[in-house]
Every structure is written in C-alpha cells, then in structure tokens.
Amino acid sequence: MKQLTTLFNTISDLIHHSSFINLFKSNQHDFSRDRFWTFPTLFTFILKKNNRTMKADIHHFFNTILDSDRMPSKASLSKARDKLLPDAFLALNSFVTKFFFQTIVDNHSIEYHTFAIDGSTSTPANTPELQEYFGTQGNQFCEVTKARVSACLETSNELFVDVIIDHYSRDERSYVKEHLTSIISLGFQPNKSIILFDRGYQSHNLIDLLEENGFKYLFRLRKNYTVEVNNANKEDQVITYVYKRKTYKQRVICVKLETGETEKLVTNLFDINCKEFKEMYFKRWKIETGFNTIKNSLKLDCYSGSKPIIIYQDFYATFCLYNLMKVIEYIVNQQLEKQMKDKQVKHKYEMNYHYILIKFKDMMIKLFLKRSKWLMVRMMNKAVSEALRDSEARQIKKEFRPAKKGSTRENKVRVTAQAYYINKKTVF
C-alpha cells in the first residue's frame, strides 16, 4: 500500500511540475494562463479514457472528478488537445513500468524475464486525413482506415513495456529494435531477457539483431524455414549455419501438441531442459489477452477525435491506463494473498481486472489532481479495504486457472466495418 501511495504521489507531482509541462507542450506559450484546460486537467481527462460523447465526458469529468459547476465547451477541448504532445503519455508509461519493476516487484529470485513481442491493428475514424496518414485495408467493396500496432509485454506481470502505432504498411519485424531499446532502458539485462516471437517473425536479420544485442530468444517457426531447421526432426537438436560471414549456433526443439501436430521452436538458450520450452512459449499468449483487454474492455479503437495527434494521445493513454490498473491489481492481489494465507481455501484467488477498473479508475484520476498526501493515503486505504471485503464476500473472486495454451485456429484476414464512430457514442 505504501508503494502504491508513493507511486500516485510521484505521478501527481510529475504532471504538475513545470519541467514536465514544458517538455510536453507544443508551444512555449501554451498552458501559460489559468483556464479551464490546464495541463494536469487535460492530461488526466485524456488518461481517464472516456468513451462517451464529448459533451457527456466533459460534464462527468468536471462534475464528478473536479466537483466543479463550470462547464467548458467542446471547442475549447479540441483547441487544448492540439497543445499537448502525445509523448507525455509514453513518458508516464515508462516511469510507471520502471517504478513497478524497480520498487514493487522483487526481481532477485527471477533467473530470466520473458517478454512477448507481437503486432496487431487499430481502426481510427474513417476520414480521408487518417486514411492518408495511417493507410487503409480493403477490397473491391470498401476501404477502411488501418494502423499497424506493435507491443512488447512482460509476461510475468502482464505490463506493456513499449507500444508503437504507425502506418499500416510497416513490417512488424521493423519494430523489434525499438522494443529492445525500451527493454534495456528499463534496466533489464539482455542476457537475462528472453524474447518470445510468434510465427512470421523469424528471419536471419532479426536473429542477427538479437544476437548482436545479447538477447535470448524463442521463436515459433513456420513449416518451411531453412534447410538446417527443416532437417532437424529430433526432439532436441543443435544446428549451425553461416550468415553474413558469421557462424550461428541454435537449438531446435520439436514440440508435440495435443492436436497431434508438431511445432518447431528455435532458441539460443542451451542451459534449459527441453521440456520447459513448451510452457515457456505458452507465456506468449499473455500478450494476446492483453490486446483483448485493451481493445474490448478499454475500447482502444473508440478514439475521441479524427486528428492524428488525438489518435496518438488516446492510443498511448489507453496503454498507460492499462498498466496503472495492472499495478493496482498486483498490489491488491498481494494483500488478498496475505489475507487468504491462514484460511483453508481450495484455489488461489485473484482480483478481477474489470472490478479494479471500476473501483479505482475515477479515484486515481481524482487523486492525481487533488495533490493531498493525507487524502491519498486515506482514500487508497479505504478503496483497498472495500475491495478486500468484497473479495471476502466472494462477490468478485475468480478462480485462478492456467493461462490459455493458445489457439489452434488459423488466423484469417477479414475486412470489417469500423467498430466505433465519432458521431455514434453512448451518453451513459
């Protein structure tokens, strides 16, 4: 609890600090007057991830969060958003993840940290400006705006350590170098970091990049790759090949699935039992469930505008909010585990993420703006105590089950209509 209060206090001080404001405002004269949309107010309004109509969002924020009778116009909000650089949310996300791994989590007993890198797509508003900026996907019947998304997730705690959104035509493998840089910047050692990749990522160039930077890796291979790999049919086999006048040594693991199919994994880890690689690779599924939460629970594609700067703001703010809720979930689960320690329970219980989102999101935003350490401690203790009481009453308990082992379905590319529209949002 003390760690969570410290984190919230630091974030509150950060978004009010002049150096942070000056670094992430578009012009030196922006946010210089005391108006409706100060930097902290606008920043937290976007971070709150509002999915209703703009007028309803403004009304709820100023009445419920700020306890104010004042009501700014929609035009003032649109004008203010042009003044805030989206990188502010990236900076906050980087701070939150670094604080979590360096202060909250005990990393001393962990031999390897596993990270999953995967790509997805996002569908901003279907306007000519965004179609030109991000690209399109379509067929003979329609064209819809599509952006390419790439993310890196730490699988043990399910935090996104890096996210990127770019043009739809960009190759997913080109993002990996940026993700590796983010992993190193957070203080992780490359030789103690395992990067998990799905089929389609494997290439000699990418393996050369990983080896050059000292990272460990685990690839799931497509059916036809290189001659050396195709001929490696034993359960555990070491192969070598030459690329760019360098000799590479790899380990090929053949894993038999429940469906009877055999998948091949390739790695540069030689000190791990081959039986452990199947379970290790299944950790990659955490990034799929992370994308599912981001897209369906937090409604990533429900953007609040049709300008590129607003798309970037909403995109980075959504992932930042996800990570903040994951940090709260981790700490509350730690408290729940202590509470259940002396009780005879059949299963391990954990707090439901959606309950955390409902219980803590508005309170967290309010605390960022209040800047009262006494109030923060009081409200946090009260919220956590209520959450634990609810858990005790078995209202929000969820049985802990192993992570989903993956999907056996073939992925099919489908062009669908836009899911969220700027002019069709709920007012509730």
* pTM (global) more than 0.85: yes
Task: Give yes or no for residue 188 having a pLDDT over 80.
Answer: yes
| Domain boundary assignment for the chain | 2-86+311-396, 112-291
**Structure confidence by residue, pLDDT tens digits, 385-395:** 776 666 554 44
The arrangement of secondary structure in 112-291, i.e. its CATH architecture, is Alpha-Beta Complex (3.90)
Average pLDDT over residues 358-378: 79
Q: State the pLDDT at residue 421.
A: 61
Instruction: For the chain, give the percent of residues with pLDDT over 70.
Output: 85
Q: State the pLDDT at residue 234.
A: 86
CA distance 108 to 112: 10
CA 119, distance to chain mean position in Å, is: 12
**Structure confidence by residue, pLDDT tens digits, 380-421:** 677 777 766 665 544 444 433 443 444 545 555 555 556 666
**Structure confidence by residue, pLDDT tens digits, 271-316:** 888 888 989 999 999 999 999 999 998 999 999 999 999 999 999 9
Helix axes 308-340, 2-16, angle to 10 degrees: 160
